Amino acid sequence: MQHDRWSLTMLVREAVKNVLSPAARMFPVLAVAVLLGAGQTALVVHQADALGSTLDDLGLAGRNVVVLTPPASDAVSTVSRTSCDGLTRYDQVQAAGLVGRAERTDLVELGSFVPLQPVSDTLLPLLTTHDAVVGAALWPDADADESIVLVTASGQVLQAALGPPVPAGISTGAALGVPLDPTTTTGDHCVVVLDPYLPVQESRQVVLSELQLVGEPLVATSPYSETVDVVARHLARTERFLPGAVAVLAGFTALALSRLRSSELAAYRLSGTSRRSLATMLLLEQMIVAGFFVTSGTTAALVLGTHLRDPAVPVLWAVVGGLAWVVCAGTAASAAVLRRASDLAKDR
């Protein structure tokens, strides 16, 4: 085996110089890696944002709402409050609770015959800190979560919150939501809000299997009928292969660049550098470039993806792209090592 004077430390130092020096032929590749790392992360974040916006719109239309009611108006069907409210302990459920029968009341601020809707605080969490929640349709110009004081016709004072828009299928959006009577243990109207990112049909099966029913089974309906699963479509998008495509691009770039660097590589070989040392140096160069790719992508994820459901996703994609870069580009660049030094010197 051919030996030379190169130690690992010297090879690392030489690779850093070959990549980071503005005059080096690898420097443009470094700049491209930084741009590609940030660009592919920005695309992942943009697509995640688009999915989130779509799910928000479909959520207001009732996509992930399941309403459980008796099969007929005269049917005897009830569900226990503990089982309905307790659905919130499952990862598939964002909110769930019983909804009582609405009444009408007069309020100084909202007028006469205002719908008064008893509801579990597990379905309307603002009821844990307020006496009532004003539906967005009753006070459309208000800021969500703002607190106001309401006075009933009988003089009762209520500390109320102005609620945000709620999905279709939840009647509190056009009513004054109040806490369900603590003595209520059963009901015939259970509303469940599912996690929009999880398969709706599978989540519905989990919900139905956990309810404690008395009498005839309740009928599960949804205000929105989905024809295309937007989450499945997002997961099946071709752009998810972008990090791999970037690695293939890097491999072709490294192969083309090795031709442009033939005289430079020939100088290393003719000065006594072994194939092993040269291959190690070329691999270290690609590892440095890939490191900048990952760093750029991670930085972009930290800046752009803080509001995402899982901010680690774009970071993982950047790491995948970086590893693929090293494998593909490192293999392509090291192919030049197999050529004879005299052949490398002849290239221009």
pLDDT tens-digit map of 78-134? 889 999 999 999 888 999 999 998 888 888 788 888 888 999 999 999 999 999 898
* pLDDT of the residue at 16: 92
Q: Considering the entire predicted model, what is its pTM?
A: 0.76
The dihedral through the CA atoms of 38, 39, 44, 49 has a sign that is positive
Mean pLDDT confidence for 300-322: 82
Length of the chain: 348
Which of 177-186, 224-233, 302-311, 325-334 tops mean pLDDT?
177-186
pLDDT-derived band at 57 (thresholds 50, 70, 90) equals very high
* pLDDT of the residue at 326: 84
Mean pLDDT confidence for 17-40: 87
Q: What is the pLDDT of residues 264-284, one digit of tens each?
A: 777 877 788 888 888 888 889
List, in sequence order, every residue forming a beta bridge with 187; answer none if it has no partner. 79
Q: Which of 158-162, 182-186, 196-200, 331-335 is the least confident region?
A: 331-335
Please give the structure tokens belonging to residue 240: 């998810």
CA atoms within 13 A on the CB side of 218: 26
Say if residues 47 and 179 touch (Cβ distance below 8 Å).
Answer: no
The dihedral through the CA atoms of 251, 257, 262, 264 has a sign that is negative
* pLDDT of the residue at 282: 86
pLDDT-derived band at 251 (thresholds 50, 70, 90) equals low
C-alpha to C-alpha distance for 70 and 87, rounded to whole angstroms: 19
C-alpha to C-alpha distance for 306 and 308, rounded to whole angstroms: 6
Residue type, 167: P
* pLDDT of the residue at 342: 63
* pLDDT of the residue at 213: 82
Task: Name the more confident of 5 and 134.
Answer: 134
Taking the mean position of all CA atoms in its chain, how far away is CA 256? 37
List, in sequence order, every residue forming a beta bridge with 80; answer none if it has no partner. 186
HEC readout, the chain: CCCCCCCHHHHHHHHHHHHHCCCCCCHHHHHHHHHHHHHHHHHHHHHHHHHHHHHHHHHHCCCCEEEEECCCCCCCEEEEHHHHHHHHHCCCEEEEEEECCCEEEEECCCEEEEEEEEECCCCCHHHHCCCEEECCCCCCCCCCCCEEEEEECCCCEEEEEECCCCCCCCHHHHCEEEECCCCCCEECCEEEEECCCCCHHHHHHHHHHHCCEEECCCEEECCCCCCCCHHHHHHCCHHHHHHHHHHHHHHHHHHHHHHHCHHHHHHHHHCCCCHHHHHHHHHHHHHHHHHHHHHHHHHHHHHHCCCCCCCHHHHHHHHHHHHHHHHHHHHHHHHHHHCCHHHHHHCC
Which CA distances in Å does 209 have to 87, 114, 218, 222?
Answer: 11, 36, 12, 17
Please determine, for residue 202, whether its predicted confidence score (pLDDT) is greater than 90. Answer: no
Please give the structure tokens belonging to residue 47: 């697509």
Mean pLDDT confidence for 156-176: 87
CA atoms within 13 A on the CB side of 182: 2
How many C-beta atoms lie closer than 10 Å to residue 145's C-beta?
13
C-alpha to C-alpha distance for 332 and 348, rounded to whole angstroms: 19
* pLDDT of the residue at 2: 55
Mean pLDDT confidence for 183-198: 91
pLDDT-derived band at 1 (thresholds 50, 70, 90) equals very low
* pLDDT of the residue at 121: 93
Beta-strand relationship, 176-179 and 111-119? parallel
Task: Name the more confident of 57 and 348.
Answer: 57
Please determine, for residue 196, whether its predicted confidence score (pLDDT) is greater than 80. Answer: yes
* pLDDT of the residue at 343: 62
Please determine, for residue 3, whether its predicted confidence score (pLDDT) is greater than 70. Answer: no
* pLDDT of the residue at 190: 92
Say if residues 188 and 68 touch (Cβ distance below 8 Å).
Answer: no
Please determine, for residue 345, whether its predicted confidence score (pLDDT) is greater than 70. Answer: no
Beta-strand relationship, 190-194 and 65-69? antiparallel
Tell which residue, 100, 88, 85, 159, has the closest CA to residue 129: 159
